[in-house]
Amino acid sequence: MNTFSGMFEMWAMVFKFEHKKLSFIMLTATYGGALMIVAIFVLTLWGQSKGCVFPINDRTMR
């Protein structure tokens, strides 16, 4: 598995769900961060549309 083709073999196992724990860990690690960024962006836009002000990078907060 320490070869370039071994990497594709591992991802084939992940997407076939042969080993459920491996699939869950790899898919969570791969796509979990991206989903969190999208969720934070959507919640921020929704909050701003409702009138909330998020003082990001505001120097008066320090």
Domain positions in the chain are 4-52
Question: What contacts 24+ positions apart, CB below 8 Å, involve 37-46?
Answer: none
Q: Quick one: pLDDT at residue 38?
A: 95
Statement: the pTM of the whole predicted model exceeds 0.85: no
Q: Which residue has the higher pLDDT, 1 or 21?
A: 21
Helix count (H) and strand count (E) of the chain? 2, 0
Please check the confidence at residue 62 and state whether its pLDDT lies above 80: no
Q: Quick one: pLDDT at residue 3?
A: 80
Condensed to tens digits (0 to 9), the pLDDT of residues 14-58 reads 899 988 998 999 999 989 999 999 999 999 899 989 988 877 666
